[in-house]
Amino acid sequence: MDDVTPYIVLSTILFTIGSVGVLTRRNAIVVFMCVELMLNACNLALVAFAKQHGNLDGQVAAFFVMVVAAAEVVVGLAIIMTIFRTRRSASVDDASLLKY
Amino acid sequence: MIAFWVLSPLIVLAALGVVLMRRAVHSALLLAVVMISLAVLYLTLDAPFLFAVQIIVYTGAILMLFLFVLMLVGVDAADSTVETIRGQRLLSILGGLVMGTLLVLVVAQISLGTMTGMGVANAGGNIEGLADLLFSRYVLAFEATAALLITAALGAMLLAHRERLDAKEGQRAMAARRMQEYATTGRHLGPLPSPGVYARHNAVDTPALLPDGTPARDSVSRVLAARGTVRSAPALADDIEDVQRTLDGVRGISGGSGGAADTSAGAGHNTENPETRPQGAGHPEGDE
């Protein structure tokens, strides 16, 4: 085990999959899950680099990312529920009123 | 490193599944697989505290929240395959492929050197080290996090709260409305029929059969109907024919030897099992 390159490669792959998911999926909840996937990929990179450099700052950063992700999910899902309540749909294409 | 090579294909496959699954519930479950596997990877990276936090916060709290909202929202939430912007899906997949290969190639080119390892940093314990950092160098960020969490909780309460615009309907008002509906439209006054009473089993996904053999729409939950998991009408028709055949068989047996049908009457309630159906003579309706 020389370096953390495999971990970083896995992290980039996860990030790519997440971003493609955000672009292609229409269901707002699945889009959110893909955002979580991207955040998790970043966390993996942070923790791997923490091990590479031998200090704990990367892990602290990953911890903060988790906290922010939790707050983001709470607010985001509440917004999705509000949209669903008024439009009876969780599709991101239906919430297009600002366009007009 | 063995853990990494075992888990990384699993993680990539599960992540692809999150994107590709048509039902949001399946995506959520695959996301749980990704998160738990990532937690194990954190353990191999000498981050035991993050391992616990990943499982508790992500898999425990965030995914449960996703599943709760899916229960509330995503009853019939299969994705539509219609593209709003023409060619957007193809373009985004292409762009993702380009970005992925680019990133992977660049990262693989970099030589990071030998890793330092967490031996020194974790010498006094991982959690103690993290706490030292959190409450000294990152204490401002930590306090800001507290403000963020309070704001998020308040915001979620505010957004999910529904203002009641009119007074709640009392029991008297409800009774009056039901009587009014009965007078005008003839809608049934009593409670809704329970599922499957006249069908072959009483599972909640089996609609009750009306005397003329048609399924009673009101007897199954609207949610189940929207999910498409209600047993369909053809299957029910099969059930009816099945019961008819059984009854005919019973008539035939009881016509030949009436005593035999009576002795097996106690054991013949199991019409689920096809093997016992020919001698399933226990239907009281069959003897009449």
pLDDT in the model for residue B197:
59
Q: Confirm or reject contact between B79 and chain A (CB < 8 A).
A: yes
Task: Name the residue with tokens 């329970």.
Answer: B194
A11-20, B71-80, B97-106, range with the lowest pLDDT:
B71-80
pTM over 0.90: no
Neighbours of B163 (CB within 10 A): 4
pLDDT reported for residue B162 = 80
On whether any CB of chain B is under 8 Å from the CB of A14, the answer is yes
Chain A, residues 38-77, CB within 8 A of chain B, namely: 40, 43-44, 47-48, 50-57, 59-60, 62-64, 66-75, 77
How far the first Cα of chain B sits from its last, in Å, is: 73
Of A6, A16, A37, the CB nearest to B31: A37
Q: Is the pLDDT of residue B255 over 60?
A: no
**Spans of all domains in chain A:** 4-87
Mean pLDDT of A66-91: 87
B33 has a pLDDT exceeding 70: yes
Report residue B257's pLDDT band, with 50, 70 and 90 as the boundaries. very low
Res. A43: pLDDT tops 90: yes
Comparing B266 with B73, which gets the higher pLDDT?
Answer: B73
Q: What does the pLDDT read at residue B72? A: 83
CB contacts of B113 in chain A (<8 Å) are: 3
Where would I find the H helices in B74-113? 88-109
**Which tops the pLDDT comparison, B11 or B118?**
B11
pLDDT of residue B288: 35
Q: How confident is the model at residue B280 (pLDDT cuts 50, 70, 90)?
A: very low
Chain A neighbors of B148, CB-CB under 8 A: 67-68, 71
Residue of A nearest to B125 (CA): A56
Task: Tell me the nearest-neighbour CA distance from A86 into chain B, angstroms.
Answer: 11
Write the CA distances from B201 to A59, B248, B266, B269, B287, integer angstroms.
55, 20, 18, 11, 21
> Which of B190-204, B242-256, B264-278 is the least confident region?
B264-278
On the question of pLDDT at B111 being above 80, the answer is no
Q: Which CATH class is domain A4-87?
A: mainly alpha
- CB-CB contact of B8 with A6 (8 Å): yes
> Does A78 sit within 8 Å of B54, measured CB to CB?
no
Alpha helices in chain B (DSSP H): 2-20, 24-44, 48-53, 63-73, 88-109, 126-134, 139-160, 171-185, 222-227, 233-256, 258-263, 284-287
| Distance set, CA B44 to CA B51, B59, B114, B121, B189 (Å) | 9, 18, 16, 15, 64
Contact state of B107 with A78 under an 8 Å Cβ cutoff? no
The neighbouring-strand residues paired with A27 are: A91
> Which one has a higher pLDDT value, B282 or A70?
A70
DSSP string, B155-198: HHHHHH-----SPPP-HHHHHHHHHHHHHHH----SPPPPTTSS
What does the DSSP assignment read for A55-99?
A: SSHHHHHHHHHHHHHHHHHHHHHHHHHHHHHHHS--BTTT--GGG
Residues 6+ apart with CB under 8 A from B104: A9, A12, A13
The partner residue sitting opposite B69, judged by closest CB among A7, A25, A81, is A81
> Which has the higher per-residue pLDDT, A91 or B41?
B41
pLDDT over threshold 70, residue B268: no
Report whether pLDDT(B209) > 60: yes
Encode pLDDT of B41-95 as tens digits: 999 998 999 999 999 998 989 999 999 988 887 655 556 667 777 888 899 999 9
Find the residue in B nearest to A63 (Cα). B50
Residues A34-47, mean pLDDT to the nearest whole number: 95
- Enter the ipTM: 0.92
| Structure tokens that stand for B115 in this block | 């890793």
Identity of the residue in B46, B49, B77 whose CB atom sits nearest the CB atom of A27: B77
Question: Is residue B36 less than 8 Å (CB to CB) from chain A?
Answer: no
Q: How confident is the model at residue A31 (pLDDT cuts 50, 70, 90)?
A: very high
Asked if the model's pLDDT at residue A72 lies above 90, the reply is: yes
> What is Dmax (Cα atoms) for chain A?
56
